[in-house]
Structure 1
Amino acid sequence: MAFELMFSVALLLSLWSTAGCDFVVEGVLQMECHDRYFMIAVDLTATGEAPRFEAVDRTGAYAITEDYAAKCGYSVSVLSFLGLVELRASYFSCHTERVGGFSFRFNLITSYDGVDAYYELNKTCPLPPPWSPREVTCEVNYMEVSVRSELPCPSGLSDDFSSLSPLYSASTQEWQVTFQSPEEQMPPMNLSQARQEGYVFDIINDRIVFRTPYGQPESYGTELNGVPVEVIHATVFSRQSWIVVMVDLVAACSMDEGSFEGGYMIWDTPEALYPSLGSTKISLGLDGNLVEQAAAEQAGFIMARQNSTVQIGIPYNAKGGYRKSYVSNGIFEFYIFNLYLKQISVDEHHEETALRFHRTLVTPLLPSSLFTEDQTDVKEGTFTIYLGKVPRDVVLTSVKLNGHEFAVPLSDTSAYTLTEVSYPNKTHSYTLKVLLNDPIVIQEFSKENAAMLHKLDINYTLIALPGDEPYHHTVSVTALMAVSPPAFDANCTASGIDFKLAYRPFDYLWYISIGPHRLTPALAAMHGYTMSNDSQRLLLSVPLFTHGYKYQNVSLKGFLGTFTILMRDRDTSEVQTSTIKTCLFNTTEFIMCSTTGWMTVVADLSLVLHEIPTKPHLINRACLPKEVDGTRVLFSFPLHSCGSIVKLEKGNVTYQNKIYFVSNNVTEGITVQCRYPLVGLYRLFSAHKFESDKEGVGSIIPFVDHAKAPARITAETTTVAPRRTRSPNLHLPPFYPTARYIKVYRVQNQFGSFGKGEGQNS
């Protein structure tokens, strides 16, 4: 009872709200006539504060307090799980008029903001089915027994028994009552004394009625087959001369509070509370609706007899039962059943006793297990967490993601989605989605799995309605995502290639290199790159002809330039992947000095001549251009061939050749040369092979060769073209990379010998 009261009070406080004015119109009032009682139910949500009742008759209005209700045949229950206050009134209750039926009059009193409002409730119930010779009602707060009176009793009883038949003589002695227990018979008391003790005796419709609250001093408890029973045995009598009139009034009620086993609420009552020739006949139902045993069993109820005990099993999901969630360091559920049971027995005199029970049965708190499922699909790149089996009266109010709390429902601008789905079994679910790469997700590299570990700690805050006590349901989910090295976006420009890299949280697992060297601001400055680097992205602009380019398909129409950026493992320096970008370039004039010892030149002779030259060749006349297009020529030859001249200077070695052509019968030309640094040089000339780890710096210089000029052109009249260095028609930085070393082998005899290098020959 204390358990039920605790929930009633807590939930009642949360259900009170603004009251209406006309309950009947608003549909918040129910008044029903049953076989042995009258019922009123009022919606709590429309009554402001807890409503009160007054019983009304011709003598006035009487407040139905807890004590007065048990004494006068009323029971008031706060059914907070239904949002109702229910009043049940016995047909033998104190202020009921019995003319052509049973007429009830009540005042319903509601209070809002301290102001009481009164509503008159009137209802007449027709005569019920015939009464059994003895009828006993075991209500939630009192016991009531009525027996048929067929004896011609004298008249003239005391005022306390004034409602008995007026045939009794006023000259007789007053009526008295004595109570009996197995151990003793108590001294008699008159009826006025009994009324002061909370007992009621009355004669109504030729029936003697006795009513008492539970727990009176004159009642006693016992056990029948292990079932607790409360019994009160009253005998009313009157002595008239030499005749004594006595009536035995016995009320015996099972006090079993029920138990929950295997999904059933089990309630027991002894079959032999009253004498019976055979098995008792039982009908039962929930919320005041009785059905016969066969129909009850078909609805899932269990009705069994064991050791003269009737055992009732109510399935937890029985229609007419009520389920409620409760939060207290967890989510629990309990089930409430308003059991109404009728038990009929027949004694050896073939007299029938009808015993009726009203019992509110409450299961213990049962854990309500929420169901969490990680439905994350790494391919989708999203955490997907399913929270299911959430009771219908439990709602999610907020969700905390890795310590960051968000109210539910989530805002339209939220980066996260939360979907709610309701199910026919009175549960609902929530599905949360969070991107794996969202900043709120913790990301760590797992060396064991060679993958990125994504972690999300979720704290769901739920409350049971009505109420505000929170329950925190926590779950942690992880996802392993195979990581790949970062890749640059690359774009061709007129003067080179631009690279762009958007950083990811785990990109620190690799580093960027150009060839074997790590890309740093110092390296970029040394090679003439333009680099911009912050916490979000890296921008790298690589001009044409700077270190790192590879060239292919060189022709007068253009050439392909390829630049490669390597991604290396941070710990092992092994190349994991690369970004390779090839672009088509077209310049009027350029010179390439390769690391493998080749010079490739595209020269535009129109820059020094005004007519188309003829017979272009190198120092070695056998070395002719690969392509000629008007004034533009393309030569590509090894540095050590075609008559090239090698010059040693301080810190450098220069390979020089000349492009000769005839113009206006004058042999003119352009000097082309490649200069390589000697830093790190191991061998100079030992074999017919060249090797450098960096490109050389080339120059194109026009000249006029007087020795080869026709006789008509004298030295005095010969014009010498000014010396100039030609570079590609590009905006290049004024810096040229140096070589770490070069290897040059087998040089023509005209070059002479330099040093005492290994393997020199001529």
Structure 2
Amino acid sequence: MALGFCLGVALLLSVWSHGKCADVPEDKTGVYPITEQYGAECGYKVSVFPVPPLVTLQASYFSCHTDNKEDKMFMFNFNLIGTHEGEEVTYALNKTCSPSLPWSAREVICEVNYMEVNVQSDLACPMGTRKEDWNSTLKTAYASATSDWQVMFHQDEMPLTPVTLSEARNKGYVFDLTEGRLIFRSPYGQPESISTIVNNVPVELIHPTLFSRQSWVVLMIDLMAACSMHEGAYDGSYLRWEAPQAQYLLSGLNAMQVNAGLNGELWEQLIAEEKGYIVQTQGSTVNISIPYDAEGGFRKSIVTDRLYEFYVYDFYMNQLLVDQDNVHTRIYSHRVLTTPLLQSSIFTENRTVLEDEAFTVYLEVADDIELVSFNLNGKEVTGPFTNTSTSTIYEAAEPNDLHSYTLKVPFTDPVVKQQFSKQNSVLQFSLHLDYTLVVLPEGEPYHHTAYVEAVIMGISPPAFEAFCTETGISFKLDRQPFDYLWEICIGSEPLTPELANQLGYFMHRDDQKLLLDVPIFTYGFEYNDINLARFLGTFELLVWDHKMTEVHAAFAKTCPFPTNELIVCSTDGTLTVVADMSMAIPRGGVLAWTLKNETCGPKEVDGTKVLFSFRLNTCGTRIKLGKGNVVYENEILPVEKSISGNRLAVSRNETDKVTVQCMYHLAGLHRLFKVYRFESDQDGLGSIVHTVPPTSGPRDDMMASTTPQPTTTTVPTTTTVLGRRQSRILPALHPPARYIKVGGFMKNRSYSQNRGAEGNRQQEFLAQI
């Protein structure tokens, strides 16, 4: 039964949380402030519920300013005057109601702030009155000499003293008479009321008897009301409320029916139990247990030293009693029940799916709690929240007065901490979250922290395949989802398309694979086992962690290459050169080859090809200092032989020699002078200089008529140092050699001049893969 009982009608008005109720203009007689006292006397109750912000005006059907039409129709025409942000606002509250149930012979209303009883006006029999009380009342009534209506209040061991209705009204009691009902109303805590304990339940009782003597006839009406003052008890799951019936269970009265509910809505016992209520009658006491999260309850959060919450229930109960004469008594009880402060639990759940490669964190809070900011591993994000490409947050309503926030943070977001274990190939992502929440409407802040992590097993650094080509070494990588966790580097420099282009590499990269073609004699090659037939070239790729703090893997490939002409200037000061001496053979032939110091001979000789390897501080090497560099220079000279084949002398003819040079940058040299140990940060730039006559013809004529000239060209060379890059134009002597070893990030001229041909080779290489 929704609000259809003699308690009256609850007119609900949602107002701002900082709104304030003022006066209520009621009927045409004037404006009446509804104070606590006035409301209790006239049948009104104003309640304020915190969540949602709600003001409730409840009025009895028999309240002071209600229009009553034959006890069947009740009209409420009120204007509620309130203040909102300092301005007066008027709300019209107009409602016409009719009781949904027939009136019982006696109706008792236990409101929050008053007791009310109404009986049929023609019912004068003493229902539920003890015989001794009735006799005492009757004697007092007969002793009264007035015909005016008077009232006596029964109190334990207190003499009955009649008072007039005017005197009773001055004490705060209200008596009223309608066409068919006699009404009595009393605030709680009156001097004539009795506080007692019935079946371990606190009860407040008031027992007036209204009488009038007309000649020898005495009219008497018994108007007893007893209400449970139980405040509710919380057991961890239910809020229990109790009400004894002992005051009414006289003369054969028995309980027939109990209905219960919230917010003015009453359910029959079976329906209430389906909603989770427990309704029990133990002896003469009704015990009702309300689930702590019952639908219709009000929940409020509060911050003290911690975050707490409490629940408020606008509780109603209806009991129907009947006596042996089939006379009905209906008892209505209305109470605002509140749980104690309960520790509030904010629900956080890690809903991350590894395949999404992102954290998904779910946060659920009460409706009166709002998220204003959050901190991700030290990075603060404040509202209003705008979703970015790296992190997103969504808010959604949830059942049971809750709402949620769902945060998504990709594993690739810089705020996410990553840790890779090489020992067991485990990749761990972690995120510390600190939510800043506020409780509304007070705005009290509260911090909630959470930690989430995701672990992926079987993760390994990128693994390359490598194979030899005619022109260099090629690498292939099938890309994996977590390759972004590592940096592929040349030394300590990350491999990027820009770097590959600068160094003369051919690089192709997409979502499926990475292809790298490294031509021989570009930066990064190491050379070993050099002889006249072939040498070994080794190129290495390093895999660093993304923070460039540790090398996780290295992939090196060694390939053999045929030896034509080459020169290697190593960091330890060793010059290794393979030179073609066919243009430096003297007229009489060659018995042997030597450097400027005749004691330094070749390691290998095969016809006109020679292999020398010597330290730069030996074998007569000259040092030339330039601006920012130093050049070490030596010469390969023939030892002539006579027609008979005997040794003659070392030829010093300009056309009978090949000059070899190694140039090093001064900034990278730790030792300079040739008498000390040589040490350089980088390989040097080498060159082989062949001196040839400017015209062709028989050698005898050439030597007799011309002055030999060395072949010279100016080669634009780019020198790159890891961690710092610089471009400069350096003069150099370039021989007609196929291979020249260069230091740093130097590029040889033959590659620069054959870019188109190498580009064609790159396309052929990609097609093969």
Amino acid at match of 1:652: T
Q: Does 1:271 align with 2:241?
A: no
Instruction: From 3, 19, 40, give the equivalent of 2:11.
Output: 40
Instruction: From 129, 154, 160, give the equivalent of 1:180.
Output: 154
Instruction: From 581, 586, 600, give the equivalent of 2:578.
Output: 600
| Cα 1:648/1:281, change in 2 over 3 Å | closer
The answer to whether the 8 Å contact 1:617/1:659 transfers is: no
Deviation by residue 1:449-472 (Cα, 9 ceiling, x = unmatched): 999987654221123444422221
Counterpart Cα distance in 2 of 1:371 and 1:399: 16
How far is the alpha carbon of 1:234 from its aligned partner?
A: 1.6
Q: Does 1:85 align with 2:59?
A: no
Instruction: From 29, 41, 64, give the equivalent of 1:71.
Output: 41
How far is the alpha carbon of 1:137 from its aligned partner?
A: 0.5
Task: Tell me the equivalent position of 1:619.
Answer: 590
How far is the alpha carbon of 1:119 from its aligned partner?
A: 5.9
| Cα 1:620/1:220, change in 2 over 3 Å | farther
Moved more, 463-472 or 112-121: 112-121
Task: Tell me the equivalent position of 1:409.
Answer: 384
How far is the alpha carbon of 1:718 from its aligned partner?
A: 2.3
| Cα 1:290/1:420, change in 2 over 3 Å | closer
| Cα 1:301/1:559, change in 2 over 3 Å | same
Counterpart Cα distance in 2 of 1:432 and 1:122: 47
Deviation by residue 1:302-339 (Cα, 9 ceiling, x = unmatched): 21122432111223444433444444444444333322
5 Å-filtered alignment, 1:26-175, equals 34=5, 37-45=8-16, 49-50=20-21, 52-56=23-27, 59-100=29-70, 101-112=73-84, 116=88, 121-126=93-98, 129-150=101-122, 172-175=146-149
Amino acid at match of 1:406: V
Q: The residue matched to 2:112 in structure 1 has which SS?
A: coil
Task: Tell me the equivalent position of 2:371.
Answer: 396
Instruction: From 643, 652, 666, give the equivalent of 2:618.
Output: 652
How far is the alpha carbon of 1:142 from its aligned partner?
A: 0.3
Deviation by residue 1:701-751 (Cα, 9 ceiling, x = unmatched): 4479xxxx99xx589x7246537488997749689999xxxxxxxxxxxxx
Q: The residue matched to 1:146 in structure 2 has which SS?
A: strand
Task: Tell me the equivalent position of 2:342.
Answer: 366
How far is the alpha carbon of 1:282 from its aligned partner?
A: 1.3
Amino acid at match of 1:396: L
Counterpart Cα distance in 1 of 2:206 and 2:611: 135
Task: Tell me the equivalent position of 1:341.
Answer: 317
Q: Does 1:230 align with 2:196?
A: no
Counterpart Cα distance in 2 of 1:344 and 1:376: 56
Counterpart Cα distance in 1 of 2:582 and 2:522: 18
| Cα 1:730/1:135, change in 2 over 3 Å | closer
How far is the alpha carbon of 1:42 from its aligned partner?
A: 2.4
5 Å-filtered alignment, 1:431-510, equals 431-434=406-409, 440=415, 456-477=431-452
Counterpart Cα distance in 2 of 1:113 and 1:545: 78
The answer to whether the 8 Å contact 2:260/2:267 transfers is: yes
Q: The residue matched to 1:373 in structure 2 has which SS?
A: strand
| Cα 1:670/1:224, change in 2 over 3 Å | farther
The answer to whether the 8 Å contact 1:547/1:695 transfers is: no
Q: The residue matched to 1:718 in structure 2 has which SS?
A: helix
Task: Tell me the equivalent position of 1:290.
Answer: 266
Task: Tell me the equivalent position of 1:419.
Answer: 394
Counterpart Cα distance in 2 of 1:730 and 1:561: 25
Amino acid at match of 1:136: V
How far is the alpha carbon of 1:192 from its aligned partner?
A: 1.7
Counterpart Cα distance in 2 of 1:645 and 1:138: 117
Counterpart Cα distance in 2 of 1:679 and 1:563: 33
Amino acid at match of 2:207: H
Moved more, 671-680 or 392-401: 671-680
Q: Does 1:550 align with 2:527?
A: yes
| Cα 1:462/1:642, change in 2 over 3 Å | same
Moved more, 438-447 or 118-127: 438-447
Alignment RMSD: 5.9
The answer to whether the 8 Å contact 2:603/2:613 transfers is: no
Task: Tell me the equivalent position of 1:628.
Answer: none
Q: Does 1:718 align with 2:704?
A: yes
Q: The residue matched to 1:98 in structure 2 has which SS?
A: strand
Counterpart Cα distance in 2 of 1:205 and 1:576: 97
The answer to whether the 8 Å contact 2:46/2:55 transfers is: yes
The answer to whether the 8 Å contact 1:327/1:463 transfers is: no
The answer to whether the 8 Å contact 1:344/1:352 transfers is: yes
TM-score of the aligned structures, taking structure 1 as reference length: 0.63
Amino acid at match of 2:322: V
Task: Tell me the equivalent position of 2:224.
Answer: 250
How far is the alpha carbon of 1:620 from its aligned partner?
A: 6.3
How far is the alpha carbon of 1:264 from its aligned partner?
A: 2.8
Counterpart Cα distance in 2 of 1:467 and 1:311: 36
Counterpart Cα distance in 1 of 2:93 and 2:616: 121
Amino acid at match of 2:116: E
Q: The residue matched to 1:291 in structure 2 has which SS?
A: coil
Instruction: From 189, 192, 196, give the equivalent of 1:215.
Output: 189
Counterpart Cα distance in 2 of 1:468 and 1:183: 55
Amino acid at match of 1:220: I
The answer to whether the 8 Å contact 2:531/2:611 transfers is: no
Amino acid at match of 2:380: E
Task: Tell me the equivalent position of 1:311.
Answer: 287
TM-score of the aligned structures, taking structure 2 as reference length: 0.62
Deviation by residue 1:469-506 (Cα, 9 ceiling, x = unmatched): 22211224567899999999xxxxxxx99xxxxxx999
The answer to whether the 8 Å contact 1:402/1:456 transfers is: yes
Amino acid at match of 1:138: C
Q: State the number of aligned residues.
A: 605
Counterpart Cα distance in 2 of 1:80 and 1:198: 30
| Cα 1:416/1:728, change in 2 over 3 Å | same
Counterpart Cα distance in 2 of 1:400 and 1:199: 61
The answer to whether the 8 Å contact 2:43/2:62 transfers is: yes
Task: Tell me the equivalent position of 1:355.
Answer: 331
Task: Tell me the equivalent position of 2:405.
Answer: 430
Q: The residue matched to 1:194 in structure 2 has which SS?
A: helix
The answer to whether the 8 Å contact 1:591/1:700 transfers is: no
Identity of aligned residues (%): 40
Task: Tell me the equivalent position of 1:627.
Answer: none
How far is the alpha carbon of 1:251 from its aligned partner?
A: 0.8
Counterpart Cα distance in 2 of 1:234 and 1:650: 127
Counterpart Cα distance in 2 of 1:448 and 1:347: 86
Deviation by residue 1:593-649 (Cα, 9 ceiling, x = unmatched): 8999974235796xx9xxxx9x99983699xxxxxxxxxxxxxx9436669799999
